[in-house]
Structure 1
Amino acid sequence: MNLALWTGAGLLAVVALIGGISKTFVPKEKLAAVQGGGWTDDVGVGFVKTLGVLELLAAAGLILPAVVDIAPVLVPVTAVCWVLLMAGAMITHGRRGESTYVMLNLIYLLLAAFVAWGRFGPGSFTG
């Protein structure tokens, strides 16, 4: 169980890191031009950058608290936050008729829910 939870958190951290770097450092116009990035036309630059920073924090929050053994409860808390972020992403892509991205976000949401459930419950760092 522990290995599955670490793997899930690691995969989500990679996804969050890639998304966070792109949203934080790539110009909004370039993001809008790539497949699946059209949603950025509907929001301001500040919103995109804020999402990017949140994703960078999520990448760190899914791994670092457990690795350094400082407040490891932040891992499942971060996973719950990722569930909420993916719910928003699913709504955004759903409104745009981008069912492929809705399904991808659903996979990320389910993986984050698994990490949250496992780290709050049977795979807790305190147990």
Structure 2
Amino acid sequence: MNTGLWIIAALLAAAFLFSGLFKLVLPHEKYVAAQDWAASAPRWAPGAIGTIEVLGAIGVVLPAMVDIAPVLVPLAATGLALVMAGAVAMHLRRREIPALVPSAGLLLIAATLAWGRFGPYAF
């Protein structure tokens, strides 16, 4: 199971690193054109969410890799699960069912990693 959690952490980190950098690198106008939700959000929201996602992506792998404060791994996974819970709520409120699927999937994956690293397969 430990190997499975490492694979989950790596996939989660890749997904959130891509998503976070996408939010941070694109100019606001281009991001709004690509993502409808950003048009009704405050201008700072995509950048703030992108920063949280990049930090979470780093947090689910780096502390365990360098064996410094590995308790940060489940904390980062919990934080990413909370971000995705917010995304799920927003997509439900906006009735964006196709966008709900990846958000809910990432929520479940992050919650699984948090459960595994807080619980039976902690470092």
Shorter-normalised TM-score: what interval? over 0.9
Question: AA paired with 1:86?
Answer: M
1:2 counterpart residue number: 2
2:45 counterpart residue number: 47
Equivalent pairs, count: 123
Q: Secondary structure at the match of 2:44?
A: helix
Q: Percent identity?
A: 45
C-alpha distance in 2 between matches for 1:83 and 1:55? 10
Deviation at 1:45, TM superposition (A): 2.2
C-alpha distance in 2 between matches for 1:121 and 1:26? 38
Equivalent residues in 2 for 1:33-44, closer than 5 Å: 33-34=33-34, 37-44=35-42
Equivalent residues in 2 for 1:1-127, closer than 5 Å: 1-34=1-34, 37-125=35-123
After TM superposition, the score normalised by the length of structure 2 is: 0.95
Question: AA paired with 2:14?
Answer: V
> Deviation per CA, 1:22-60, whole angstroms, max 9, x where unpaired?
1111112111222xx100001122111111111110110
Question: AA paired with 2:54?
Answer: L
Please identify runs of 4+ aligned residues in structure 1 that moved more than 4 A. none
In the alignment, structure 2 segments of 5+ residues that lack a partner are none
C-alpha distance in 2 between matches for 1:29 and 1:95? 23
Deviation at 1:111, TM superposition (A): 0.6
In the alignment, structure 1 segments of 5+ residues that lack a partner are none
After TM superposition, the score normalised by the length of structure 1 is: 0.92
